[in-house]
Amino acid sequence: MSDERKFRFLLWAGMMFLVTGYLSCVELKYMMWGETTDAKIMKVTKGTEKRGRFQPSRPIWGVRFAYDDLDGTKRENVINMPIEWKEPTEGTLKIDYVPGKERESRLHGKKNRVPVYMFGGAIAFMLFVFIKLFRQAYD
């Protein structure tokens, strides 16, 4: 394997490590410090969501809700729901939030652990690359 190819391999592994590390921080924040509570639905408005440059927009519900933080601070946020969503009769949503952070809330159960697993894979890949380069350096 040429030195240039080794360098590109290591550069690609480093970039994968950085990108997946950043993406996994959001999920880890909810996993480590997240709390679950019931939020009161304040307003539901119909709108549209642009999905991409060449894709048609689609109708959505904009749901504004309020909840009390652990320290008693009243917080508000808005989430987009698919048009098929039906407003709960009791007028509340179960949400996960990060205490002390403004607009750090999401629907309960909306977990995305793929970036965390990818970050673990990136760490394993980086170790593999470093071990391989270390062995070649001392052979």
Q: pLDDT (tens digit, 9 = 90+) per residue, 42-91?
A: 999 999 988 778 888 899 999 999 999 988 899 999 999 999 999 998 99
Look up the pTM and report it: 0.72
| 3 closest CA partner among 126, 139, 137, 123 | 137
Which pLDDT does position 35 carry in this prediction?
A: 93
Tokens of 17: 């490590």
More confident residue, 110 or 40: 40
Q: Among 43-47, 99-103, 112-116, 130-134, which range has the highest average pLDDT?
A: 43-47
Burial letters 94-109, b for 16+ CB under 10 A, else e:
ebbbbeeeeebbbebe
Which pLDDT does position 38 carry in this prediction?
A: 94
Contacts for 36 with CB less than 8 Å, ≥ 6 apart = 94, 95, 96, 108
